[in-house]
């Protein structure tokens, strides 16, 4: 399957075999990392494949491999991290690997952090122990289309199926002619502390799904004077 087709079958995999990924597959991931398309070219993001033992996590992971994703400490850096590395997530799963975004983790083992960047998020990657793919859209537990947009739009199905931290699905889309305005749920103080960073990454993940399903026509931009929407934060606008 190509990465657009994987959207209907992707699963967050938490059970792995304690088995190394084949060197040629790791090399393919490394090569793909160098080709990831940014949403915002000026926002710096960098990824690295590391041994799982070089990370500290709340959950014990059997896979010996992790990907650590660094970004500049800005909202655009986090948005870019989600947008770029969801491309890698889908690609890895298209190779038969399992992946899972991991927001609560830190580096150990002397792993260096690039200058001017911070750890944005990590991603488990490895040989899945069990069923790694869904059979289709019916396998997903997601909001109904009417809950994420002001107008039914089949092009948004890829966004609807995107993964997010604790399945929070923070996106909302409004239509203005051919323009789709992308919004993120405005969080209260408590949720901002627990979900704020990851929801910014989530928005990049969702936008990635729109990009990979419309690679030739997708365009992201920001309007100078966007309207306001109660309970929502404007992220940017898209044409497909």
Residues 8 and 119 in one domain: yes
Residues 199 and 103 in one domain: no
Under the banding of pLDDT at 50, 70 and 90, the label for residue 195 is confident
Residue 108 belongs to what domain range? Answer: 3-126
Residues 191 and 163 in one domain: yes
- CATH number where 96 lies: 3.40.109.10
Would the pLDDT of 152 be above 70? Answer: yes
Please give the tally of structural domains in the chain: 2
Residues 181 and 116 in one domain: no
Would the pLDDT of 235 be above 70? Answer: yes
Question: Which of 126, 154, 178 is a domain's end point?
Answer: 126
Q: String of b and e for 76-110 (b: at least 16 CB within 10 Å)?
A: bbbbbbbbbbbbbbbbbbbeebbbbbbbebebeee
Would the pLDDT of 40 be above 80? Answer: yes
Residues 76 and 183 in one domain: no
Would the pLDDT of 29 be above 70? Answer: yes
Task: List the one residue out of 38, 29, 43, 34 whose CA is nearest residue 208.
Answer: 38
Q: How far is CA 175 from CA 15, 96, 117, 151, 182, in A?
A: 40, 36, 35, 7, 9
Q: Is residue 166 part of a domain?
A: yes
Residues 215 and 152 in one domain: yes
Residues 95 and 9 in one domain: yes
pLDDT confidence of residue 95: 97
Q: Is residue 121 part of a domain?
A: yes
Ranking 32-41, 103-112, 171-180 by mean pLDDT, the lowest is: 103-112
Mean pLDDT of 104-123: 94
Residues 11 and 85 in one domain: yes
Would the pLDDT of 194 be above 80? Answer: no
Residues 170 and 89 in one domain: no
In whole numbers, what is the pLDDT of the chain averaged over residues? 95
- CATH number where 141 lies: 3.40.109.30
pLDDT confidence of residue 68: 98
């Amino acid at each position: 399957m190509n990465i657009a087709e994987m959207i209907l079958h992707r699963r967050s995999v938490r059970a792995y075999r304690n088995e190394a990924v084949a060197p040629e597959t790791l090399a393919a991931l490394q090569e793909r990392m160098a080709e990831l398309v940014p949403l915002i070219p000026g926002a710096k993001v960098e990824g690295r494949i590391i041994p799982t033992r070089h990370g500290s996590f709340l959950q014990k992971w059997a896979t010996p491999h992790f990907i650590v994703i660094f970004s500049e400490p800005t909202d655009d850096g986090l948005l870019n991290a989600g947008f770029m590395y969801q491309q890698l997530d889908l690609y890895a799963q298209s190779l038969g690997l399992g992946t899972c975004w991991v927001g609560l983790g830190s580096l150990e083992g002397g792993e260096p952090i690039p200058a001017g960047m911070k750890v944005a998020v990590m991603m488990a990657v490895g040989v899945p122990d069990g069923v790694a793919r869904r059979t289709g859209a019916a396998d997903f537990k997601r909001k109904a289309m009417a809950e994420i947009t002001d107008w039914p739009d089949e092009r948004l199905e890829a966004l609807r199926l995107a993964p997010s931290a604790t399945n929070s699905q923070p996106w909302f889309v409004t239509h203005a002619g051919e323009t789709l305005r992308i919004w993120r749920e405005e969080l209260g103080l408590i949720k901002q502390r627990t979900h704020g960073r990851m929801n910014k990454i989530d928005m990049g993940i969702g936008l990635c799904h729109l990009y990979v399903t419309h690679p030739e026509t997708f365009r992201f931009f920001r309007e100078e004077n966007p309207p306001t929407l109660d309970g929502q934060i404007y992220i940017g606008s898209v044409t497909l």
